[in-house]
Amino acid sequence: SVNNAVDAAGVDAVTGLETVTQVAGNDPEIQAAYREQFRVLVRDNLTRNPDFTAEKFPNTAKYFK
């Protein structure tokens, strides 16, 4: 989340955190970066998950390929 990112960076939001979150939510580049990071994390999880098989979940496998 944006809150976690701000905390991890060790910076203080000059504007309110809510404003930062709203701006980030409306920024197409930030949305694209978040979407890609999400896909990378899920893809990594799926490769290590013994319960996941591409044959059983073909749409999921295709999306996170």
pLDDT digits 0-9 by tens, 23-56: 888 888 888 998 999 999 999 999 999 999 999 9
Is 13's pLDDT higher than 60?
Answer: no
Q: Are 52 and 43 in contact (CB under 8 A)?
A: no
Cα–Cα dist 12/47, whole Å: 37
The set of residues, in sequence order, having a beta carbon less than 8 Å from that of 42 and lying 6+ positions away, is 64
Number of neighbours of residue 64 by Cβ within 10 angstroms: 19
Mean pLDDT throughout 61-65?
A: 89
Per-domain boundaries in the chain: 2-63
Split at pLDDT 50, 70, 90, the class of 4 is: confident
Give the helix ranges, DSSP H, for the chain: 2-9, 17-26, 28-48, 58-63
